[in-house]
Amino acid sequence: MNIQESIQKRRSVRTYTGQSLKREHITALKQFISQLPPFHNIKARIEHLSVFSGEKPIKLGTYGKISGAKDFIVLIYENIPFAEAAAAYQFEQVILFCTELGLATCWLGAAFNSNDFKKHVQLNKNETLKIVSPVGYPAEKQRFLERLVRVDKIHNSRKPFGELFFYQNFDTPLTEETAGIYFIPLSMVRLAPSGHNKQEWRIIKNDNVFHFYKNPCSPFDNIDIGIALCHFIETCKEINVQIKLEFLTDYPISNNLQYMVSCIVG
């Protein structure tokens, strides 16, 4: 998979044709999910559900802007530390694979009826289901509601590089020069989807260490960090830079942001 290409191509699609996924797409999707490695030793459960899974059509309710979706991928993870971010990392890998196949997706944390989905995935007591995504064929014409909220404008409205990434401390914005070869992986983080497009992750580069911070008040803080880590680490891999994940005790402190984890080169 060409990660940079998929990251640049991916966007949230909310209007689908109403056509079910073709068999070859279901097979490719299931195969990709089954071979997906754990992230930081944590394996998420990612299930494919179709409205036509059973003998009779099942109800998989979505709200508002989402229309015409017949297939979904569902993210399930255990309630253990870091599992939410690790699961989001793996779910974004699946989203990017779908993008590569030419399939449309949209992370959903709110606009779906979670009880409908929970009925069909046998959720254990220690598991959480809070994210799904439709997966299917994008309708050529956006539905009125999707046009009304001007999703294309939202997709393109990313914060400037220097407001998201910093050099050694939060007072010094990172530039293309100080980012060096990491300008591309960080530019891929900038394109990451996030809840309400808030982009509440911040990164400090300190030599070969990248400290990741989140806004703990954001409802999707851990999920957004998992997606950002996916874009950063997978793009680094693509340019032959290997990353190790570490939870450090010594990092620059911020008044309103919470330190999450560090990516160490090599």
Q: Which residues of this protein are in contact with ligand FMN, per CB under 6 A?
A: 11-12, 14, 65, 106-111, 154-155, 193-197, 220, 223-224, 227
State the minimum distance, in angstroms, from the CB of residue 176 to ligand FMN.
22
Contact between residue 209 and residue 263 where contact means Cβ atoms under 8 Å apart: yes
State the minimum distance, in angstroms, from the CB of residue 112 to ligand FMN.
7
Each as own residue / partner, the long-range contacts of residues 174-181 (CB below 8 Å, 24 or more positions apart, any chain) are 174/203, 174/205, 178/205, 179/205, 181/239, 181/241
- CB closer to ligand FMN out of 109 and 173: 109
Q: Which residue number is nearest to ligand FMN in terms of Cβ? A: 193
Spatial distance between the Cα atoms of 71 and 206, rounded to a whole number of angstroms: 43
Computed on alpha carbons and rounded to an integer, the radius of gyration of the chain in Å comes to 18
State the minimum distance, in angstroms, from the CB of residue 98 to ligand FMN.
13
Spatial distance between the Cα atoms of 71 and 22, rounded to a whole number of angstroms: 10
- CB closer to ligand FMN out of 205 and 221: 221
Spatial distance between the Cα atoms of 82 and 85, rounded to a whole number of angstroms: 6
- CB closer to ligand FMN out of 69 and 223: 223
- Bridge partners for 261 per DSSP: 212
Q: How is residue 81 written in tokens? A: 């530390």
State the minimum distance, in angstroms, from the CB of residue 169 to ligand FMN.
28
- CB closer to ligand FMN out of 33 and 228: 228
Angle 133-259-257 from CA coordinates, rounded to 5°? 85
State the minimum distance, in angstroms, from the CB of residue 194 to ligand FMN.
5
- CB closer to ligand FMN out of 156 and 255: 156
